[in-house]
Amino acid sequence: MRKKHLAVCMLAAWALLVIGFMILARRLDLEVYFVLWLIGILIVVELASDHFATPPYLRAQKYIIAAGVLLFGAIVARKIMEILAR
């Protein structure tokens, strides 16, 4: 199996595992899911990347990761503002 397909399968398995645990805990939270998905994609991209050559599909992933990190920053800023408003 190529690294590209393995990376997609691993990310899908991680996302389903997170959803499964959230359902078992009876706590579906989109922000928690997003943060755990972002951690999963960062790990998968790091494990799938080669230090000497970057495949084209991983170059495209950098834009998704950058958008995810920006969204994560917005979530953290909002949570801090909620704490400070108390």
Decide which of 49 and 66 is more confident: 66
Q: 20-55, pLDDT tens digit by residue?
A: 999 999 999 898 999 999 999 888 888 877 777 777
CB 38 within 8 A of CB 72: yes
Per-residue pLDDT band for 1 (boundaries 50, 70, 90) equals: low
Whole-model pTM over 0.95: no
Q: CA 32, CA 30: separation in Å to the nearest integer?
A: 6
Amino acid letter at 65?
A: I
User: What 3-state class would DSSP assign to 86?
Assistant: coil
